[in-house]
């Protein structure tokens, strides 16, 4: 029987030509040739030594790690790595003074050159990224490696080959800081030594609501004067919109506006066409002027947020929020942002990504999980729940939102806890 590492190496060898085609395509498409250079281990030399690299897979991970990075850069030389162009753009926006590079392909010779070029002392991986060769070379080079806000795919421990590959790679981690006890248990099922796994809490609780300048406050109040009674669908994935189609029709008939923010904005036109095919008007936020007044947006139309960075502006004025992903294989998206805004929240049945957080809120009636019910269809179940929410009075909605907000405030010092732990382990100064 072949050793797992040989199977992995052989798989990488087979995939190499396809990966090369992919990174060349992305480099051309995004007009960013650092993408192909960095991913092949070619970088500009870094002047600083003893660098701490914080790896964030993409845009969502950059946003999630933002507050932690802000604290670490106060006393350390930091650079950021990411897998995607959108992740790099966001990292450069947030941290214009830091070096931001693309993560290497997981081939030993590429990884070695990448690490040496960046003069890395410590490697902090945010959430889910596990690359066997990268982790092993960090071990060979005595680079301190850890995972923060760690989570792992549902049922991964049941996939024998992947389980063994991951377990061997994770042996090179000094420690794993899980975002919940639920995630810690999943790591333990991989066979990881318990003494190296800790549960601290979810770093996404460090999210800070957007501060609105005083001069914009008056404009903001008029913008929403006619549309404060709207239903927000945040970070939706296929088939969220299709599943909610009947419910959305009922909301519009009852003069409750609907705002949809797809997790991947390239889906916006497809979503719009689906509504237009059944006679529902659609507006795109990107088509609005800078001084767009939401009161101009028709009460019986859907507004699609097809721009980056604008979702947070809609949380505070939404009547209730559906957080997408719960009907997809990806699983439910970030429920913490709307909870910090004090909003009543609905999610679909696949809650594994935020299982402990959601179950804790559910016990306090701070979130509603639309469970799969054998006796009725998914669409009928959604309609039923939306009707219930539509009939709730303001007092009840506010109470549910307050529960969510109070729960999130329990974790307001979460960044400090992570920083203290990382200092104790000498990963950062």
Reported as a single tens digit per residue, the pLDDT across 276-309 is: 999 998 988 888 654 444 445 556 789 999 988 7
Expressed as residue numbers, the domain containing 162 is 48-202+413-424
- 203-231 burial code (b ≥16 CB/10 A, e <16): bbbbbeeeeeeeeeeeeeeebbeebebbb
Distances 161 to 3, 53, 106, 107, 168 between C-alpha atoms, Å: 10, 29, 18, 19, 11
Tell how far CA 84 is from the center of its chain: 13
Whole-angstrom distance, CA of residue 184 vs CA of residue 200: 10
Residue 302 lies in a domain: yes
| CATH code where residue 139 lies | 3.40.50.11720
Residues 179 and 319 placed together within one structural domain of the fold:
no
Residues 319 and 381 placed together within one structural domain of the fold:
yes
Reported as a single tens digit per residue, the pLDDT across 156-209 is: 656 677 788 888 899 999 999 999 999 999 888 888 888 999 999 999 988 877
Considering its fold, how many domains does the chain have in total?
A: 2
Q: Per the structure block, which two tokens stand in for 248?
A: 């959305």
Q: Per the structure block, which two tokens stand in for 355?
A: 């299982």
Residue 37 lies in a domain: no
Residues 241 and 178 placed together within one structural domain of the fold:
no
Residues 238 and 360 placed together within one structural domain of the fold:
yes
pTM for the model stands at 0.84
Residues 178 and 252 placed together within one structural domain of the fold:
no
Residues 405 and 417 placed together within one structural domain of the fold:
no
pLDDT of residue 411: 87
Residues 96 and 221 placed together within one structural domain of the fold:
no
Residues 291 and 312 placed together within one structural domain of the fold:
yes
Whole-angstrom distance, CA of residue 132 vs CA of residue 167: 9
Contact 178, 192 (CB under 8 A): no
pLDDT of residue 3: 65
| CATH code where residue 254 lies | 3.40.50.2000
Whole-angstrom distance, CA of residue 314 vs CA of residue 305: 10
Residues 403 and 417 placed together within one structural domain of the fold:
no
Compute the chain's Rg from CA coordinates: 23
Residues 234 and 371 placed together within one structural domain of the fold:
yes
Distances 315 to 38, 52, 310, 340 between C-alpha atoms, Å: 37, 34, 10, 10
Residues 191 and 251 placed together within one structural domain of the fold:
no
Closest CA to 156 of 169, 144, 146: 169
Reported as a single tens digit per residue, the pLDDT across 137-151 is: 999 999 999 999 999
Residue 31 lies in a domain: no
Residues 356 and 388 placed together within one structural domain of the fold:
yes
- In the chain, which residues have pLDDT < 50? 1, 212-227, 290-295
Contact 165, 195 (CB under 8 A): no
């Amino acid at each position: 029987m072949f050793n797992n590492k040989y199977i992995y190496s052989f798989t990488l060898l087979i995939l190499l030509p396809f990966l090369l085609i992919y990174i060349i395509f992305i480099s051309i498409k995004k007009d960013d040739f650092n993408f192909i250079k960095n991913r092949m281990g070619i970088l500009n030399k870094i002047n600083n030594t003893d660098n701490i690299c914080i790896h964030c897979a993409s845009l969502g991970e950059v946003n999630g790690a933002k507050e932690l990075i802000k604290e670490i850069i106060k006393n350390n030389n930091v650079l950021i790595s990411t897998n995607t162009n959108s992740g790099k753009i966001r990292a450069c926006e947030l941290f214009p003074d830091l070096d931001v590079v693309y993560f290497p392909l997981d081939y030993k010779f590429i990884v070695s050159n990448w690490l040496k070029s960046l003069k890395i002392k410590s490697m902090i991986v945010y959430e889910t990224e596990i690359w066997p060769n990268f982790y092993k070379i960090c071990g060979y080079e005595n680079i301190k490696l850890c995972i923060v806000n760690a989570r792992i795919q549902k049922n991964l421990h049941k996939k024998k080959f992947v389980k063994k590959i991951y377990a061997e790679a994770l042996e090179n981690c000094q420690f794993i800081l899980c975002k919940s006890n639920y995630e810690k248990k999943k790591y333990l099922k991989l066979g990881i030594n318990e003494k190296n796994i800790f549960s601290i809490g979810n770093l996404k609780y460090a999210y800070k609501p957007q501060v609105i300048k005083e001069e914009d406050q008056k404009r903001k109040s008029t913008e929403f004067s006619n549309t404060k009674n709207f239903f927000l669908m945040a970070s939706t994935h296929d088939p969220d919109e299709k599943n909610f189609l009947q419910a959305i029709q009922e909301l519009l008939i009852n003069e409750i506006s609907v705002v949809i923010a797809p997790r991947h904005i390239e889906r916006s036109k497809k979503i719009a066409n689906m509504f237009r095919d059944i006679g529902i008007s659609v507006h795109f936020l990107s088509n609005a002027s800078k001084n767009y007044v939401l009161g101009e947006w028709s009460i019986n139309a859907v507004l699609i947020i097809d721009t980056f960075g604008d979702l947070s502006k809609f949380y505070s004025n939404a009547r209730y929020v559906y957080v997408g992903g719960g009907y997809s294989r990806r699983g439910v998206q970030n429920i913490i942002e709307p909870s910090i805004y004090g909003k009543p929240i609905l999610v679909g049945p696949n809650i594994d990504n935020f299982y402990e957080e959601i179950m804790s809120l559910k016990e306090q009636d701070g979130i509603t999980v639309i469970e799969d019910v054998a006796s009725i269809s998914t669409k009928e179940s959604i309609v039923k729940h939306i009707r219930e929410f539509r009939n709730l009075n303001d007092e009840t909605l506010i109470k549910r939102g307050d529960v969510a907000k109070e729960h999130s405030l329990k974790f307001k010092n979460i960044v400090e806890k992570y920083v203290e732990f990382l200092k104790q382990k000498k990963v950062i100064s």
